Chain A
Amino acid sequence: MGVLQGATELFPVSSLGHAVLIPSLLHWSFKQSDPSFLPFLVLLHLGTATALLILYRHEWLAIIRGFFVAAVRGQIQNDTERLAMLLLVGTIPAAVLGVFLETRIRTLFASPYEAAGLLVMNGVLMLGFEVLRRRAERRGAADGSSHAEQEERFAQAERISFRAAALVGACQALAFLPGISRSGVTIGGGLLAGLRHQEAARFSFLLATPVILGAGVVEVPQLFSSGVPVGEYAAGAVLSGIAAYASARFLLRYFRSGRLDPYGIYCIAAGLISLALLHFSL
């Protein structure tokens, strides 16, 4: 579960959807209604957030410093300060929607059938984002330019508008639906806002860190309830962190020239196969 959560949290394929679907399809013995399941998920998320913090440790130090300097000065003077404020603006909508709606939404869509259906929808969304992106590329592209050359025309994360950052941040709330990927919708939102693929992934990972970390930290007291095998769960968190770190490194390299299409096709196929397997109770 640790490896599965860590790997799928950052890939645009929905970790929550896989966490609902795979145990159900493989007939794993634990129950998600079990009181010890939430502390387990909390630790896995803390593992993922730690991996992202390690990956972007220098950047986060600069962002935190930039935030305080710009906040006290009341003016943005460089790209790091702008990125710090963009992340604040992008985090607030997800945090508000998360605190007030997450539990209600998750309870409404917790069954494997719904997760499989939403995974198909996630795939359609990923393909849709790329269709719109290709249209934008065609509008301004010189004939015969390669994908890499076209990418150069798009912006870095620091150049996104504050309105777009808030919208991309709000899109994170869609990921409370099991099957819809947080990184998928935020990368897609970044693409629509005019970012390069790699920059959209970077912005998505930076945006995800405070949300994942915050959601994990506030649930830490759950870990100290009786009957929680903390050592075993901690091993899962370490595995989750390693998988997340490897996934993030892979995705940042992949998005230099890659697109969301393969993940969209994977989600549609995985969702449809899961629906068939669940329907025929295989």
Chain B
Amino acid sequence: MKSTTTSIGLGVLGIVFLIVAVLYALGLLQFLASTSGPHYKHAILFTVLAVASFVAANFARPKGTIYVTDRPGR
């Protein structure tokens, strides 16, 4: 499922996750949190989700015509 649109979508999702992580870390977001104040556990989770989204975006990015079987190390 390689396409520029998917890649951009996943990149944008990653940025959203990063913003949510910062908001949780600063205690500005309390959604689904049991106490008030900063939520570092939630912030770490959303940072991981952001990293996963950026990785997925890079995987979804079309990389031109490369024949994997011809690459060294295969």
Contact = CB atoms under 8 A, between A and B. Distances in A.
Interface string A132-173: 000000000000000000000000000000000000000000
A99 B63 contact: no
Nearest to B7: A74
Interface string B30-74: 001010000011101100110010110011010100001001011
B74 A218 contact: no
Contacts of B42: 99
B58 A74 contact: yes
B45 A95 contact: yes
Contact of A214 (B44, B58, B59): B44
- For chain A, give the interface size range: 10 to 19
Interface in A46-75: 71-72, 74-75
Given A75-B59, A88-B55, A99 B41 contact: yes
A99 B45 contact: yes
Contacts of A104: 34
Q: Is the interface of A mostly helix, strand, loop or mixed?
A: helix
A30 interface: no
A96 interface: yes
A224 interface: no
A74 B40 contact: no
A217 to B, nearest CB: 9
A100 B55 CA distance: 24
B11 to A, nearest CB: 12
Contacts of A214: 44
A71 B61 CA distance: 12
Contacts of B71: 77
A71 B41 contact: no
Given A74-B63, A95-B45, A88 B73 contact: no
The 8 closest A-B pairs by CB, nearest first: A74-B58, A71-B55, A99-B45, A218-B41, A74-B59, A100-B32, A99-B41, A95-B45
